Chain A
Amino acid sequence: MNVIEARHLWKEYGDNVVLENVSLAVKAGEFITVVGTSGCGKTTFLKLLLGVETATRGDLLLDGKPLPDEPNADRGIVFQRYSVFPHLNVLENVMLGAELAASPFWGRTFGKRRRAIREQAVAMLESVGLGTALLKYPSELSGGMQQRLALAQALIKKPRILLLDEPFGALDPGIRADMHQLILSIWRQTGLTIFMITHDLKEGFYLGTRLWVFDKRRHDPQAPNRFGATITYDIPLGHTDRTTLHTIQQSLGANHD
């Protein structure tokens, strides 16, 4: 059973073709990294998965059913920035998702139910290494810690797929390595299907189980928007080799320099 399936997916804004004829199938538990130059449509593809944008033509299916055209709890997301709520402390940020489900009108819980949610949130926060920062506000956290928080916040909803939009793009290299360890251990423990967009080809190459490269197959120099991007490389990773990395680097460079 495919978790995500796309059949001849097109996305156009007027004359501007962004995605052209994307077809793919993703099995549960795959960790897909998505790379490509800026403006290559990888973010548009993420927005389609998220439900913020809808495809012009074609089908995008989640568990065999069309994706709802607005974001919902099936799809967790971590953005590069602004993923967490500045007015809630770390614990409240993670509790929010569970509280919303438990209390449709107030979105708040009290007493026994709150304690249960709190326990769950604390466990989640400890597993991402934020057990000692429960009562801090996001602005008191470093960039890496904020992303840990955003992950914990998304994970508590147990989404079908987890979308990561350049989640570590703003972090220092050392911290980034820590975050790679964290996301890998989360992926191993939960068996989540993960889509991660990155502009760092190396990161994409060594992190996931499958690499997608979004790029344009055809170019019209007179009308750069005439043709859209599609997946030009779809490589299973794990036994990666340098020649492939080099070839992809070359192809991305050659098209856009």
Chain B
Amino acid sequence: MSSIITAKNLTKRYGKFTAVDGISFEIQEGECFGFLGPNGAGKTSTIRMIHCVSPVTAGTLTVKGLPCSIDNRTIKKTTGVIPQEITLDVDLTVRENLMVFSRFFDIPRREAKTRVEELIKFVELEAKRDSKIDQLSTGMKRRLLIARALINQPTLIIADEPTTGLDPQARHLIWQRLRQLKSQGVTLILTTQYMEEAQQLCDRIVVMYQGKILKEGTPRTLIDEEIGKDVVEIRISQDQDEKLIGSLAGFSCGHERVGDTLFFYCRDGHDIRKKLVELDLPNTVHRPATLEDVFLKLTGRSLIE
């Protein structure tokens, strides 16, 4: 695999505010690369620079060897963007939205008609072909955004929180479609706050926080390195901590107190499970470690606004 996107010391400033603070990364052709992070971490700013709608303040950023700049029509021509906000043309129908968009890419009319019919089928909006946008549910609108992003048959797709605000059915349908695209060889860049989404779709992820990349790796290695295999959550009052930590000291687990809960992060949960049964504590949860644990550990558990 060769790298399709290269960023070196990429920086984005809005006035005095630094949104992206000198990050470096490489994205390989055909992989799904995820940007994870809380609100305001700099994910959207980063991908806006990748698809050339926001100028790079400092550092270098190339897509397929071409430097990113807002006037780079070549990059835009082969990139599909699924935006975070629903930016459909509300004056037009589902079909017209796609037809009008095909113009912007200079797709010949006849070719566009075929593609539009295919895409409407792909996102399962056949019954809504001639409906106006305000007659669609949020899930349908998001699907139409995906279809719109595919009109130019892009080799790079950028999805900015594509399932925000959707019900589970709609979310799973979108995940399936994105995986389908990836299997066709498309490179996918995803930003998300949903850890399950990242685990479902991404080959590699970076965790961003305050404009910086904190960690990079596959979801599995990040979980292994940062958390381990198992997590034990014990809801217990704080004055019991010392005793409990003492009695579990032999299992080489990391621990963390958050609010009403004491967390243990363990390499091997087998023995600790036995010990927990022995201790017979109420309100204990023992579960496999997830990406969410990594995320919370790296970006802190306090509310970010």
Is B one of A's binding partners? Answer: no
B: residues with CB less than 8 A from A are none
